[in-house]
Chain A
């Protein structure tokens, strides 16, 4: 390992190559290969990729240890596979970047991906097109790895488009069902809208800075040289906004979230891998990757945070009334992604990535558990027809409860820690961005205002920065309350789902009831692994108030993720700013309060769900009677789909019709047809002249000669 240079770390190339090879083998020859071989190629390629990722991680740790800190970007490994475009200013290679942020993402993608591949072996066993499924799934993993490993925005974009295509292919995997094929199309088209903005953002960045390389851009943004910074500051808001719009498409945020619930038409493991664990987190990842640009514009951060909070709340409220097991999970995914964006918007990048990671564990598990239930119930997805499954499917039940507890925020489960960190970030931000507090903090710490401004990465004139920061205090409180409420909703609807599926009497039809069975081992094993991860996955991000009670060595583990990611985010993350500005450990007492509030809210949500669906099962009916209007609004998902249908889809169709009409009658009919008609009729008239009769010809000549003669004569006589 020591012989490899940090910028020629070829294992990065191998991480990407393995799934691609798997996709090629299965895609080209899968139909003729024995099914066992298809399974082994698909899972083996991802396992290899995971192995290479671990090797790279070890390399990175080794490199980080000897890292002396030249420049601002922090330690990273890179590998240039191919010099792709080298033209004047534009210089984009197929190059990979492996820094602490990428390391987390790659491990999640390959690790969770591997488990889902193994699960798929059992889940898709009866499907005759299994080879096609695995080829797509491998191709997806390849694209996702390109996305997270790309060293410049162009490589990321290749992956970005690649995952979109694979998502489309997999949602419409059972393409003979028109509805499913349409869901795929919807996902693809909505994503394309986002991608368009992403491209514009990329171009804007290139126009101003002349590079797409993350390292160069990062150095530029974090530079202390005013000239360097001046190239990025003016575009931080517009380019950031464009890229954020791109992210709302891929990561299903308002206004482009509508595709994700429909994407559930795909096979359930696909929902788990693409629409819960990996692809939809691409937007969060990208903004974290560009964290130094995001923090350059407080306005942009505020927009991101508000959009994230709104999405979280809206999606959670819709999830309450959904009855399709996968749809509840889909809206829950949208909601959790909202949490992540909220964290990004508040500069809590560590919290965002932490939640991304734990979410990948427990949401993948929830989907796989749902898949196991659907598999066991013979493709029944309506939770009103389930119930009592906890005895029939013990393994599925055990893992499902772990994941539900994790997402609801039950203490010590994975989701508790990450969601708590987000809530706490919102709360502490409200304090940091309270300018009086900052000022007194500065006085205590003895730092100059200019220093602080640089730390906050607000690079405008100090006064302006203070103003901007000062404005955000109220907003942060607002976001915090929204997030807290959403956390309660999450606990409620997830336990509603859990109780309705696994408790009470079985409401399935007699015929189905007899056949309910636990799933095969290839499905149960990944479930169990993810179950364990859903429990312990959060133990690398304990609250500071707890971690600080222990010694240094234990602290290093308990705050492991934060310390690891701090190498990437050390300039941007507000968390460190909180620590720096004089609050010291006092601020962490507040953290205790935030945790207590979160536990309380989760407890209320769970308790309410228990009371409504177990204790007094007649209650939901009564509530429904009382709040029919609200129920109608929620079941119809705020009529967003309908509104989009009227505003965009219909108008696009109208535009299409109008274009068709114009093409048919104006362009083709009038212009093209007119010209041809003119020439044809002229030709018809003129062709009469060619009679073949020599005498007529001679007459023409004579008449023409006479006319010319007269004209000449007239010219001579009158022309002077």
Chain B
């Protein structure tokens, strides 16, 4: 009995991963975890792109996925650098303490 995953499966998985990431962004204190959750959200979107691309037999989704990965890589570099600097400065990576910009 052969089983082929359909578009819906991919989309449900993508939505689940996106939600997990979203919740992670909203509730986790550690900046690195938050950052990882964002990566999770980005990748869930990537999954949707690929799924749609395959479903429609078009290349646009692939191209987008590559762009997202490239941007995510750049972002990771910048974000980690920021986190390290914040840690050096504050001796903590808790996002709760990073509310100075409201002033």
Contact = CB atoms under 8 A, between A and B. Distances in A.
Interface string A687-707: 000111111001100100000
Contacts of B25: 695, 698
B4 interface: no
A657 B95 CA distance: 60
Nearest to B22: A702
B52 to A, nearest CB: 19
Interface residues of B, number: 13
B99 interface: yes
B102 A692 contact: yes
Contacts of A692: 98-103
A693 B22 contact: no
Given A702-B22, A702-B26, A695 B95 contact: yes
A690 B102 CA distance: 7
Contacts of A702: 22, 26
Nearest to A705: B22
A707 to B, nearest CB: 15
Contact of B26 (A690, A691, A695): A695
A468 to B, nearest CB: 87
B92 to A, nearest CB: 15
B98 A694 contact: yes
B99 A693 contact: yes
Nearest to B27: A695
A691 B95 CA distance: 12
Nearest to A699: B26
A706 to B, nearest CB: 10
Interface of B is mostly: helix
A700 to B, nearest CB: 10
Contacts of B26: 695, 698-699, 702
B101 A693 contact: no
A409 B95 CA distance: 108
Contacts of B98: 692, 694
Nearest to B31: A694
A562 B75 CA distance: 110
Contacts of B34: 695
A432 to B, nearest CB: 95
A702 B41 CA distance: 13
B37 to A, nearest CB: 10
A695 B96 CA distance: 8
Interface in B1-60: 22, 25-27, 34
Contacts of B101: 692
Contacts of B22: 702
B93 to A, nearest CB: 13
A6 B103 CA distance: 82
A694 B102 contact: no
A303 to B, nearest CB: 77
A694 B100 contact: no
Interface string B74-103: 000000000000000000000110111111
A695 B101 CA distance: 13
Contacts of A690: 102
25 contacts: A690-B102, A691-B99, A691-B102, A692-B98, A692-B99, A692-B100, A692-B101, A692-B102, A692-B103, A693-B95, A693-B96, A693-B99, A694-B95, A694-B98, A695-B25, A695-B26, A695-B27, A695-B34, A695-B95, A695-B96, A698-B25, A698-B26, A699-B26, A702-B22, A702-B26
Interface of B: 22, 25-27, 34, 95-96, 98-103
Interface of A: 690-695, 698-699, 702
Given A693-B95, A695-B27, 6 more contacts: A692-B102, A695-B34, A698-B25, A698-B26, A699-B26, A702-B26
Complex A-B, nearest 8 residue pairs according to Cβ-Cβ distance, in ascending order: A692-B102, A692-B99, A699-B26, A693-B99, A690-B102, A698-B25, A695-B26, A698-B26
